[in-house]
Amino acid sequence: MKTQIYATFGPSCKDIKTLKKMVENGLCGMRLNLSHLSLPCAKEYIDNYRQAAKEFGTDIHLLIDMQGPELRVGDTEDIVLECGMYYNNIPLPAEVISSIEEGDKVLFDDGKLLCTVTKEKSFYVIRGGLLKAHKSVKVEGKDIKMPCLTEHDIKNIRHAKEYGVTAIMQPFVRDAQDIMNVRAVLRENGAEGLKILAKTENRIAVENLKSIVKEADGIVIARGDLGNDMPLWELPGVQKQIEEACKNANKPYIVVTQMLASMENSPVPTRAEVSDIFHAVYHGAFGVMITGESAIGKYPVEAVKYLAKTAENAEFLRRSKADSDSFINAKTE
């Protein structure tokens, strides 16, 4: 089967002209991040994508990424966190404030920013940068329990059929029961036809991998938060572990996060990035996805083109190897 090429909605690809070029260059589906907006608010994005796909005769695949139990920064103006400085004005969920203790390390925005907690629960900046509202928060070594779905999520689920949603991406799945709970909510709100793609984003999910893979319709290997929950040098091995579990269970999986991160600002990717895409597809990924590259990047069309062309090359070589192996096996029988 042809590898599915997914991109993420955002200001850089909201217009019909850009979306048409993305579809023309291999786009198969779009992800809508509902941490930042709702389905009704994204109507223009969705309508433009539907029109672009219709013009090229392609199917509509709309994936909605739920808020779920992910911890995020609250409403705030942009904050520049400077290394060596202390801050006590970062709006965080009550669950985070009640859990953090002196010495805890707190990661923001998929680990781009790092702070330690003081005795007074201020944040001392170790790795600084620009912190925006609604960016992810991770307290190292702590599992802060949150509901599977928020009220915001449930409202969006009620609109899913109306807007042609085909699947939901459920963040921070911990075990099979999380999937069962989400499926129950879908039934209660007239959305039982939606596929559930479980995002593996922490060690707990990896520990419960077999049962999660069995219960979910597919897996999203979300390397951003997953990489925050372990040393980065362990991440490739864990990715491989998840891939093998999916293949053994005959479940599709999508690889995501920083596939073409440099293309947020560059029209050409790095060699390492295309190699990453190639190996993900060659080893059996059902789909690959870009996020910021298309949502806020300068080159969304070019990013889709590199993603699709690299995947196409990996597919060709994978088929060639399979044909070669079949030929060799036939000769030795």
pTM of the complete model? 0.84
Residue 180 is assigned to a structural domain of this protein: yes
Q: Are residues 225 and 300 in the same domain?
A: yes
Residue 332 has pLDDT above 90, yes or no: no
- In the numeric block, which tokens belong to residue 141? 């070594």
DSSP code for 268: S
Domain range for 195 is 4-69+147-309
Give the pLDDT confidence of 299-322 residue by residue, as tens digits: 999 999 999 999 999 999 998 876
Has residue 176 been placed in a domain?
yes
HSE-up of 117 (CA within 13 Å, CB side)?
20
**Res 324 pLDDT > 70:** no
Domain-located, residue 39? yes
Q: What is the DSSP letter of 135?
A: -
Q: Are residues 97 and 12 in the same domain?
A: no
**Element at 281 (helix H, strand E):** helix 271-282
Question: Per residue in 127-141, pLDDT tens?
Answer: 999 999 988 898 988
Coil, strand or helix: which one is 330? helix
How many domains does one find in the chain? 2
Torsions phi, psi of 243, nearest 5? Answer: -60, -45
The predicted pLDDT at position 331 comes to: 47
Q: Is there a domain that residue 274 lies in? A: yes
Q: Give the CATH number for residue 293.
A: 3.20.20.60
Rg (CA), the chain: 20
Look up residue 114 and give its amino acid: L
Measure the CA–CA gap between 8 and 64, rounded to whole angstroms.
10
Q: Are residues 156 and 259 in the same domain?
A: yes
- The interaxial angle of helices 271-282 and 300-332, nearest 10 deg, is 50
CATH number, residue 108: 2.40.33.10
Is the Cβ–Cβ distance between 216 and 181 less than 8 Å? no
Confidence of residue 327 (pLDDT cuts 50, 70, 90): very low
Residue 163's closest CA among 194, 196, 197? 194
